[in-house]
Amino acid sequence: MKDLTKSMDGRTLIKDLTYIAVPQDRVGIVGPNGSGKSTLLNLIAGKLQPDSGEVQLGATVKLGYFTQEHQDMDDSMRAIEYVKEEAEVIRTADGSVITAGQMLERFLFPPAMQWTPISKLSGGEKRRLYLLRVLMGAPNVLLLDEPTNDLDIGTLSVLEDYLDEFPGVVFTVSHDRYFLDRTIDKLTAFENGQIRLHVGDYSEYEEWLAKNVPAQSSADKEMNSKQNTVQEPAASAAVASPAREKVKFTFKEQREYETIDEMIGQAEQHLVDITAQMEAAFADSGRLQELVELQRQGEAELERLMERWTYLNELAERIAGKA
Ligand SMILES: Nc1ncnc2c1ncn2[C@@H]1O[C@H](COP(=O)(O)OP(=O)(O)O)[C@@H](O)[C@H]1O
Ligand SMILES: [Mg+2]
């Protein structure tokens, strides 16, 4: 995204947003209702055009978009037919093939239920089916708009595990602290007319806000008011995440531990590329400014990765010590 600006109803929702997604990026999008979260996803998906700036998708990008609006479905179709209409099988990162039926089963549609006509499914089941169809499209950039609103906890738990293994980029809008902390490591926060990019999960963002922004931001209030499952004030957030003293990798950390060296290599290479581009663009001050911004983001990302590397390796040592 380069200098993305978008107004709706005469209100500027997004102004000069520049962001470059890195491989396996996990970006949460938070903010009050009506602040522009869905608008941002629509811009990324090309469903809306920006007033200025642009969205550039890499040549290999295959988008999957779980939109907030309910989809029209042919009620007479059976669940499995609806999913197969997208694809009969998908291939996972390790090359194995998963059939539509297996995906349905994984997402809590047992074989008997797969032949149920859509008209007999509940609202939540239809949303789950729609999610499956999006995933069967084998996207490598996944946009999720408020999946936590109408998917049940069982489905969310399957989705969280699925995202752990998902090799692509994920942008997800959510008001659910647990889901965000579980799935993302960066936030795009709409706060009173400005967008803040925060590196860390939602609880870390809250801690950061508490330290750096005296009054609780409206984005934050919204988050708390919308939460029905985890409704505690920021101060007790730590209680809700008991993971601090564990001596065990989470599933997400295990994957991270296995890939972190490569991620750091990529982040370093990315910075080398930017430097080369800066040298080539020395006469073009506009482009140079963009590159400076990208360099800043790249350095922040590298720093985050280095911190994660330290954390993961220390944890690995402690695990080894315990074993
Ligand atoms: N199709 C539309 N036409 C005009 N205004 C719209 C349209 N969609 C959204 N908006 C306005 O844009 C603002 C942001 O909407 P949206 O991105 O859906 O917010 P969020 O997803 O953060 O709740 C809202 O104030 C809404 O009134
Ligand atoms: Mg929305």
Report which protein residue has its CA nearest ligand 1's atom 2.
8
Gap between the Cα atoms of 81 and 87, Å rounded = 10
Tokens encoding 248: 């065990």
Q: Which residues pair with 190 in a beta bridge?
A: 195
Q: What does each of the 323 residues of the chain score in pLDDT, given as a tens digit?
A: 999 999 999 999 999 999 999 889 999 999 999 999 999 999 999 999 999 999 999 999 999 999 999 889 999 999 999 999 999 999 877 788 999 999 999 999 999 999 999 999 999 999 999 999 999 999 999 999 999 998 999 999 999 999 998 999 999 999 999 999 999 989 999 998 789 898 888 998 988 888 887 765 455 555 544 443 333 333 333 333 333 345 778 777 888 888 888 888 888 888 988 988 888 888 888 888 889 989 988 898 888 888 888 888 888 888 887 66
Predicted TM-score of the model (pTM) = 0.71
* Spatial contact of 104 and 82, defined as CB atoms under 8 Å apart: no
- Please give the Cα distance from 323 to 311 (Å, whole number): 18
d(CA 55, CA 20): 10
**CA nearest ligand 1 atom 25, residue:** 34
Q: Closest residue (by CA) to atom 6 of ligand 1?
A: 8
Q: Are 28 and 202 in contact (CB under 8 A)?
A: yes
Per the listing, tokens 């999957």 go with 64
Distance, in Å, from the CA atom of 90 to the CA atom of 72, rounded to the nearest integer, reads 23
DSSP character at residue 78: B
Please list every protein residue whose CB sits less than 6 Å from any atom of ligand 1: 8-9, 13, 31, 33-39
pLDDT score of 4: 95
Ligand 1: centre distance to CA 47 (Å): 13
Amino acid making up residue 46: G
> What is the residue-wise DSSP string for 164-233?
HH--SEEEEE-S-HHHHHHH-SEEEEEETTEEEEEES-HHHHHHHHHHH-SSPPHHHHHHHHH-SSS---
CA of 63 to the centre of ligand 1 (A): 21
Report which of 41, 70, 2, 36 is spatially closest to residue 193, judged by C-alpha positions: 36
Name residues whose C-beta falls within 8 Å of residue 268's C-beta, 6 or more positions apart in sequence. Answer: 302
Rounded distance between C-alpha atoms, residue 117 and residue 97, angstroms: 26
Whole-angstrom distance, CA of residue 36 vs CA of residue 6: 9
Q: Which two tokens stand for residue 157?
A: 């738990």
* CA 32 to ligand 1: nearest atom: 22
Phi and psi dihedrals of 200, rounded to 5? 140, 175
| 13: its two tokens | 């929702």
Token pair in block for residue 260:
């972190």
The Å distance, Cα 139 to ligand 1 centre, comes to: 25
